[in-house]
Amino acid sequence: MPQVSRLFVLVNMVMLGKFSAVLSLVVVAIIAIDGSIASASSVNETKVQAGIGNSSMAMIAYSPNQVEIVSGQSVTWYNPTAVAEPHTVSFILDNTAKADLIGPFAIPKNASLSPLVPDSNSEPLLTPDGTAIIAVNKRAFNPIVIDSTDGVIPLNQNANYTLTGTEKYVNSGWLLPKGLEQTYPGSGNTFTVTFQKPGNYNYLCLVHPYMTGTIIVM
Ligand SMILES: [Cu+2]
């Protein structure tokens, strides 16, 4: 019997004055049977996939890409795929604090550079004069927050961060599938944010800027 019909019958029985003593017990039983009612009142953390797919196909998207929560609740992103495609969850709340994925950095001439991961088929890209290396930006690679005073706050991998809404930039760091984090040493697998202030929070992946999502905090 559908949920609404069961409740309707129950209410009618109670109105007849015959079953009021068991009302609370029956309501508890119905709530226990119906998972949607139970979860709506008890779940305090929403999970979002950063990357979708399996071993033969990976999609560059968040799922679900729009989530509604109430202030005080948390969202956890994780990379569930089987391929080592990195994603970030990056809130750019002030455009002046956006971190580019890569950037040129000066290095001493004749510096010796070797790949961090042996046999990774990688080679540093130098500028033509050999004084700068085009490298991944730490502020796009690592979990990091830039606060309202431009303070740079490093977070741990797989961070759990409480967002007040005053930040300029909040980044998850690179999220790799569990067990494949060492493809890019220092990357993580999850990122959890607790939202304190109501509003619409748009975010994107710095590796794939067309990969976007929204958290609506009521
Ligand atoms: Cu991505």
Domain boundaries, the chain: 1-42, 45-101+137-218, 102-135
200 near 190, Cβ under 8 Å?
no
Copy the structure tokens of residue 204. Answer: 């994107």
Whole-structure pTM value: 0.76
pLDDT value for 167: 97
pLDDT at 33 over 60: no
Whole-number Å distance, alpha carbon 174 to ligand 1 midpoint, is 9
Whole-number Å distance, alpha carbon 215 to ligand 1 midpoint, is 17
Whole-number Å distance, alpha carbon 130 to ligand 1 midpoint, is 31
Share of the chain above pLDDT 70, in %: 80
Whole-number Å distance, alpha carbon 57 to ligand 1 midpoint, is 14
Distance in angstroms (rounded) separating the CA atoms of residues 38 and 31: 6
pLDDT at 145 over 80: yes
Residues 10-20: pLDDT tens digits?
A: 333 333 333 33
Q: What is the mean pLDDT of residues 133-147?
A: 95
Whole-number Å distance, alpha carbon 167 to ligand 1 midpoint, is 22
Whole-number Å distance, alpha carbon 69 to ligand 1 midpoint, is 23
pLDDT at 30 over 90: no
The CATH architecture to which 45-101+137-218 belongs is Sandwich (2.60)
Residues 189-211: pLDDT tens digits?
A: 999 999 999 999 999 999 999 99
